[in-house]
Amino acid sequence: MSTLSRTASELFWMTRYLERAEAMARLVEMGRRMAMLPSDRETAADEWRSVIAASGCAPHFEGRAVDERAAVLGLITDRENPSSIVSCFDRARQNARSVRTALTTQSWETLNEAWLKLGDLTEERVLRELPQTLDWVKGRCAQFRGAADATMLRDDRYDFGRLGIFIERADMTLRLLDVKHFVLLPETEVVGGGRDRHQWTSVLMATSALRAYHWAYRGDYSPWRIADFLILNHSCPRSLAYCYDEIIGVLDRLARAYGARHPCHHTATETVAMLADIDIGEIFHDGLHEFLIGAVARNNRLAYEIGAAYHF
Amino acid sequence: MFDEMRGADGTRPPYREIERWLDALGPEALALKRDEAETLFRRIGITFAVYGEGGDPERLIPFDLIPRVFSATEWRTLSRGIVQRAKALNAFLHDVYHRGEILKAGIVPEDLVYRNSAFLPEMMGVDPPGRVYSHIVGIDIVRTGPHDFMVLEDNCRTPSGVSYMLENREIMMRMFPDLFARERVEPVDGYASMLRATLEEVAPRACRQDPVCVVLTPGPLNSAYYEHSFLADQMGVELVEARDLFVDRGLVWMKTTEGPKRVDVIYRRIDDDFIDPLVFRPESVLGVAGLMNAYRAGGVTIVGAPGAGVADDKAVYCYVPDMIRFYLGETPILKNVPTWKCGDPGDRAHVLDNLGEVVVKEVHGSGGYGMLIGPRSTEAEREIFRRKIEADPGAFIAQPTLALSTVPTMTADGAAAPRHVDFRPFALVGREIRLTPGGLTRVALREGSLVVNSSQGGGVKDTWVLADR
């Protein structure tokens, strides 16, 4: 079993871009909720700036005035922003088109149809129908994952696509936590503070995890528990721990199929072991921010090592 | 003018079912169905890029819903003629790259071959497996009467369009299942497995295991990219770009996630010029350095062989009936269109005197570009061609303007009106010659137009071969 290196690379990036498009939609959703709170204009702009920082699109917005309109359009429709939702779809579709033979008809058609509909996302319409637009984006991404899940052969190609999803998702969760880490720090906790409470729920909203969190923690919003949920809880599908469970599963399967282990296997195993050993108290004790930037760096290294191991 | 549906004595038998179907459906329903078909094509991504124009870079070839039909008897004659021609063309290619008997016999002028830009001296003495040079021969055929089929040109390099033959049928079967239930239409879906069998049959001598075949594409920006990916997918082989391949120790390898993997047969959809930068164009980024050497040494098979284009040039075309007689000792089953070679002084004089009546073509042109259709030309256009021909007579041929047959075709409002068509079947040449019952029918959508090329506003139709009753 083996596949063209270029195919592996295109599949890896295709799913990454789709995951990113979905994450962008969630981030804008979070920003929109924050903006609905009564506040002065500067606070509202700050919220959008933190959304932009979490999205990794800060360079695109450099030197521009940020308000809701600029942030929403920049993150959704602006093709000059390489990580905007529209750009992500463009690139995912480009990747998919280069490796059409590696995709099932249903997966391809799902993605292609979504891409064909991008033309309908005019600025005016996005601003007017923002919630519907965001739902549409999330829906298309889910539909693609579903089509791939239901129809694709479980071979190495599928595995490279899976790796793209979880590398990107882990990255997004970590960056989102980092941007909001100051709200999660105990010293900023104002007992009963409505705004902070809203901040925490928004973080959970951005990960589509609010209801899941209620089930797991019975509605007890404490910063520790939110961080625990998004970093260490194996049953939260957007947590770092869950992403790495998936990553290590895929990498082990590849190692068995190819009969070889590589540095990427070592790095992923190390991260999984570290997550098993540590508890949330230690993370806060050693510094949440330091933990998060360390994990982002390790995640990036892993992505690089995967490419090196499989020649792409 | 011959219409394939409405003959001199009423509706011709192969079209009776089609006629009933058209009458039952009516123009409005038909127009709605057309929109439905277009949505299907877009969703699947069956597109075609037209170079040098702005607008939608992935455009659809207009698909006409009304099928073009051949009876079993008509197909028997056509298929024998196509196979015969494919055989003779390959024999010719082997000959010109070896002893050149046909040239020595004075049947084909040497200049037409040796001074042809498609002739590759690098191919002299090379023995491709099975002596096959052109593995996929696309023969363009036109019709002028009930029994009059003529070959318009041969395509020996890498003729495109076969994916439309397959997808048109898919779409038709999806949209009109009842039509296929009533009429016995020969299936075309065996093409991909036949192509794969053909590729495996011409694996190089160096290949000891199951041959690894690939489709080599210039990439997603190429106009026929959809077809490349479609064929690779249908055959279950990798679709590679040149950057995925490299040559080492006289063999060709592709870069995979497990490291290099041997490649035995390359069905290339890139032109000769771009195969190997070491041999042809040094500036090309499309090619694989060293590929020609590996090929010549028998390490890999290139499908079709480099240099196969020397057989499908419009001047060499005139001699294909002679080739059939020379190599096969048979009488040509399919006629050529009478052709005047402007390089010949007598022919040239005739062409220049009759520019208003003939069709002038560039010997090396393709895709309907660089053509003069006399009866539809302006005085200025004729003057330009007169000067071009006088400056370089050998570069042009001329043919009478043919009254191409027509087939009912849907107009904008859904009504059916006669439009001119041609036909391209695809013969596969390996150890044996295989032919799918069908092919690509191209149709000139503009009323009266004779140009069927997709780059010039032509469309396509599903082509039916009816089974014997």
Residue A147 has pLDDT above 50, yes or no: yes
Q: Alpha carbon A108 to chain centroid distance?
A: 22
The number of residues making up chain A comes to 312
Total domains, chain B: 3
Residues B90 and B175 in one domain: yes
Residues B383 and B448 in one domain: no
Instruction: Point out the residue among A4, A100, A112 whose CB comes nearest to the CB of B256.
Output: A4
AA identity, residue A232: L
pLDDT-based confidence at residue A207 (cuts at 50, 70, 90) = confident
Residues with Cβ within 8 Å of residue B95, at least 6 apart in sequence = B101, B102, B327
Spatial strand order of the sheet with B301-303 comes to B238-240, B213-216, B265-268, B301-303
Query: Is position B170 within any domain?
Result: yes
The alpha carbon dihedral of A266, A271, A272, A277 has a sign of positive
pLDDT-based confidence at residue A190 (cuts at 50, 70, 90) = very low
- What pTM was computed for the model? 0.86
Residues B61 and B151 in one domain: yes
As a whole number, mean pLDDT of residues A212-224 equals 78
Asked if B415 contacts B27 with a C-beta cutoff of 8 angstroms, the reply is yes
Distances (CA, A) of A165 to A26, A152, A272, B87: 15, 15, 17, 52
Residues B40 and B175 in one domain: yes
DSSP state for residue B325 in the 8-state scheme: I
C-alpha triplet A201, A204, A209: angle, nearest 5°: 130
Does the distance separating the beta carbons of A97 and B238 come in below 8 Å?
Answer: no
Instruction: Point out the residue among A1, A2, A6 whose CB comes nearest to the CB of B244.
Output: A6
Q: B194: buried, middle or exposed (CB in 10 Å: 19+, 13-18, 0-12)?
A: middle
Residues B365 and B420 in one domain: no
**What is the rounded CA–CA span in Å between residue B367 and residue B336?**
19
Residues B6 and B97 in one domain: yes
The number of residues making up chain B comes to 469
Owner of token pair 């590589």: A262
CA atoms within 13 A on the CB side of B294: 28
Instruction: Point out the residue among B42, B232, B256 whose CB comes nearest to the CB of A5.
Output: B256
- Which pLDDT score, from 0 to 100, does residue B208 have? 82
- Which pLDDT score, from 0 to 100, does residue B366 have? 59
Does the distance separating the beta carbons of A94 and B229 come in below 8 Å?
Answer: no
Query: Is position B326 within any domain?
Result: yes
Residues B4 and B151 in one domain: yes
Query: Is position B456 within any domain?
Result: yes
Does the distance separating the beta carbons of A94 and B255 come in below 8 Å?
Answer: no
AA identity, residue B39: T
Instruction: Point out the residue among A2, A4, A98 whose CB comes nearest to the CB of B220.
Output: A98
- Which pLDDT score, from 0 to 100, does residue B124 have? 96
**What is the rounded CA–CA span in Å between residue B448 and residue B461?**
17
- Which pLDDT score, from 0 to 100, does residue B452 have? 82
Residues of chain A with Cβ-Cβ distance to B261 below 8 Å are 2
**Residue ending a domain, choose from B400, B426, B441:** B400
- Which pLDDT score, from 0 to 100, does residue A193 have? 57
Q: Which range among A63-77, A206-220, B71-85 shows the weakest confidence by mean pLDDT?
A: A206-220
Structure tokens at B10: 């009423």
CATH number at residue B271: 3.40.50.11290
Asked if A174 contacts A239 with a C-beta cutoff of 8 angstroms, the reply is no
Owner of token pair 């191991």: A309
In degrees and rounded to multiples of 5, residue A69 shows phi and psi of -60, -50
| Domain ranges (residues) in chain A | 16-151, 152-312
Q: Any CB–CB contact under 8 A between A115 and chain B?
A: no
Residue A137 has pLDDT above 50, yes or no: yes
Pairing type for strands B358-362 and B396-400 reads antiparallel
Q: Alpha carbon B309 to chain centroid distance?
A: 12
Residues of chain B with Cβ-Cβ distance to A1 below 8 Å are 258
Residues B147 and B240 in one domain: no
Residues B430 and B388 in one domain: no
**What is the rounded CA–CA span in Å between residue B15 and residue B32?**
22
Residues B74 and B129 in one domain: yes
| 3 state SS of A121 | coil
Residues B55 and B93 in one domain: yes
- Look up the domain containing B108 and give its range: 1-186+321-335+409-469
Q: Strand (E) positions, B180-232?
A: 213-216
Which secondary-structure segment (H or E) carries B240?
strand B238-240
Q: Which of B223, B256, B263 to mutate to test the interface with A (most CBs of A within 10 A)?
A: B256
CA-closest candidate to residue B222, choices B58, B461, B27:
B58
- Which pLDDT score, from 0 to 100, does residue B9 have? 86
What ipTM was estimated for this complex? 0.80
Residues B222 and B75 in one domain: no
Which one has a higher pLDDT value, B411 or B469?
A: B411
**What is the rounded CA–CA span in Å between residue B92 and residue B309?**
11
